[in-house]
Amino acid sequence: MLPNTGKLAGCTVFITGASRGIGKAIALKAAKDGANIVIAAKTAQAHPKLAGTIYSAAEEIKAAGGKALPCVVDVRDEQQISSAVEKAVEKFGGIDILVNNASAISLTNTLETPTKKVDLMMNINTRGTYLTSKACIPYLKKSKIAHILNLSPPLNLNPLWFKQHCAYTIAKYGMSMCVLGMAEEFKGEIAVNALWPKTAIYTAAMDMLGGSGIESQCRKVDIIADAAYCIFKKPKSFTGNFIIDENILKEEGIKNFDVYAITPGHPLLPDFFLDEQPVIVTKEPATHGALPELKEEEAQPPPKPRSGAVEGTFRIVKDSLSDDIVKATQAIYQFELSGEDGGTWFLDLKSKGGNVGYGEPSDRADVVMSMSTDDFVKMFSGKLKPTIAFMSGRLKIKGNMALAIKLEKLMNQMNARL
């Protein structure tokens, strides 16, 4: 972990989406220096599934050694942004750092993304970042520190990152384009940078999306907080950078990244928009069910599909089904498999006791997955993570993404039998 230096003592940090997760972690790191934190977030009342409000975050910030100003802010509302900025300046005398962390996500393709979801992502991610920056810039220009940090990815134009979730990518890249433009526009006055994790980061939202067990493949929010702290220590001349958390911490001399892992030594999920795999921090990855490196696997000729392997896999899956699994999943999956022993198959986890079979399910599938027969068998035997397959383009998904991710938990339970 990166030690605090006290450099941010008395500085005012305005953070959107700071009531929980990454935003709160950055706030707490700065608070340990004695910083003033403006918590600009929507959650004034406790969410039934997500812990944390702007008021509970304020108490934690005070306990950590900082001062806090909780403000109810929906970044889609320009008036709420302006009001929070005015309150921050009135209470603390200015704004030194802005962190644009608030974001919305829907990992759905073009035909599966409702207009309401498109508007939500565009208005929170791109427009919200732009408007919050615009409101803070007059005060940032007066600061000796003067940093804007957007939690957004490098502008990777590989079509892989557009084809599965085009709207989300456009909205997220809009935040990154704010970095590109504003860094140049305010060069010498304000440092404007982007920060993005190399791996999945474990938050309550990730728990909801990925289900129980996803945490072992993630790092803690602390790695983002430490990386952000590194950036805030840099001069205004450090601007226009698209920073990966692990890389900047290596430059700071951090060598042991096990301290950031939820489960040290376990293979980690790479984050979106990065073409490289994260370093798997383990000497013996095979003992943790580690996956082969994607680049190595793609460089080798594809293995010959095993005759009858899909049928055998479904037979074992059927034997593993129970009412408890059905009750916990409540979804129908359809598999479009190419190659030997392929065709259309289904896994019904809605009907009593569950069912599997060849052909289309009797009721409409919630999720349709398309892949090769060989990758299907690898997925169900634990040799290929569905998330990795999806992000590398080997698995195409239509339908409810949350239910698709839920299937990974079921696969983990069956690995020992396959």
**For the chain, how long is the longest CA-to-CA vector?**
72
173 has catalytic annotation: no
**Angstrom distance (rounded) from CA 41 to CA 28:** 15
- Annotated catalytic residue within 130, 168, 229, 260: 168
Burial 145-155 (b: 16+ CB within 10 A, else e): bbbbbbbbbbe
Backbone dihedral angles phi then psi of residue 183, each to the nearest 5 degrees: -60, -40
Q: Which of 170, 168, 190, 166 is nearest to 179 (CA)?
A: 190
What are the Cα distances from residue 243, in Å, to 50, 238, 261?
A: 28, 11, 19
CB atoms within 10 A of CB 144: 8
Residues, the chain: 418
Q: Residue 362 burial (CB < 10 Å; 0-12/13-18/19+)?
A: exposed
Cβ pair 97, 105 in contact under 8 A: no
Three-state DSSP class for 149?
strand
Return the active site residues. 168
